[in-house]
Structure formats: structure tokens, C-alpha cells
Amino acid sequence: MEERVVLVDKVGNEIGNEDKMAAHVNGALHRAFSIFVFNSKGKLLIQQRNRSKYHTPRLWSNTCCSHPRPGEALAQAVPRRLAEEMGFVCDLAEMFSCRYELTLDNNMIEHELNHVFIGFYDGDPVPDPGEVEDWRWQTLQNLCGEVSRSPDSFTPWFKLIIKDYNSLFDKALRGGGAANR
């Protein structure tokens, strides 16, 4: 079955859709989302992408990331994909969005308007082994150090978000998000 992504203009207006692989080869700007789930100890759930992924296999990344389907609202796509990929659901709230254009392995291009969501969960995930090679909970402080020491072990979008928006996650955690879950 062909997977399609939603194409957008620079301000986020939908302008069509395209085959997912074609969009990643030609660098078409499309809508995406990234999910960052923390536990009550303030640790982020990260995952190692499965070795069979078409790009960035075996690299560590945020809890879950994907694309809404054409005609699917983010409010439906985000929890759907978290359940499919990581085997659990939790309340999620959009924190911000960012646009980037990153060259990946295999000459693919990740040109996305990425909506970043945060959630809180204290259980263990039950990930789809076809999507996730491994997972672990990690403090932001330790994670930032690991990203600095071993940047090639992490997906490009994850490194960008952790570097540029880390203070927003810190603020959300200090604001009682983790303590009140």
C-alpha cells in the first residue's frame, strides 16, 4: 500500500499530497510530527529505529515520529501512531512547530513542518519490533551529553530539536508536568 504525506507551504497551508518516498527523495515540504514522552522522574523515552527503516536505521530518536495521512487531523494521527509504534497512549499536547530541511543517508531529504508534542507516561512501552530496535528512559541532561559525545548515533531532527528547544522541555518539566503525573 502506498503511503502518502501531506504537502504544505512555508506557513503550513495544505497544498496537496505525495508518495512518502518521493517526498523524501525530492525534498518536498510536508507535515510531520514528533512526540516526546516523559515519565514522572523527568526522563524522556527514546527509541532506536529499526534496522529495516528506509532512512536513519538503528539511530536513536525521540519517542515517536511520523506523518499524518491525507485527510487525517493531527489530533487523530498523533495518538494513533504512538499506539501503533510504542504500544501505549497518553495525553499529548502540542508544544511548538518548526521547519527544517535536513539531508539524510541514502541522499534522502527530511523537509518538514514538524509539530512537536509532549506527553507523560509511567509505564513501559510495548513497541512494534518492525519499527523499534530498542528503547530507554534518559534524563535530558545525560541525553544532551550523549548527543554531544556521539552525534552520529542520533537522528538529525532529534539532534536539532534537543539543541534548539531543550529549554522548552526543561520549562515544561519544571512547570509541574512531570511532578504532577
CB neighbours of residue 152 within 10 Å = 6
Which candidate in 85, 110, 112, 133 is catalytic? 112
Q: What are phi and psi of 52, to 5 degrees?
A: -95, 0
Using alpha carbons only, give the angle 89, 93, 95 rounded to the nearest 5 degrees. 135
Q: What gap in Å lies between CA 84 and CA 40, rounded to an integer?
A: 23
Q: Which residue has the cell 509541574?
A: 176
Q: What are phi and psi of 169, to 5 degrees?
A: -65, -45
Q: What gap in Å lies between CA 157 and CA 154, rounded to an integer?
A: 9
**30-38 and 109-120 as β-strands: parallel, antiparallel, unpaired?**
parallel
Which candidate in 64, 65, 90, 133 is catalytic? 65
All cell numbers assigned to 137? 528512559
Q: What gap in Å lies between CA 19 and CA 56, rounded to an integer?
A: 19
Q: What gap in Å lies between CA 135 and CA 152, rounded to an integer?
A: 17
Asked about 65 being catalytic, the answer comes back as yes
Catalytic residues: 65, 112
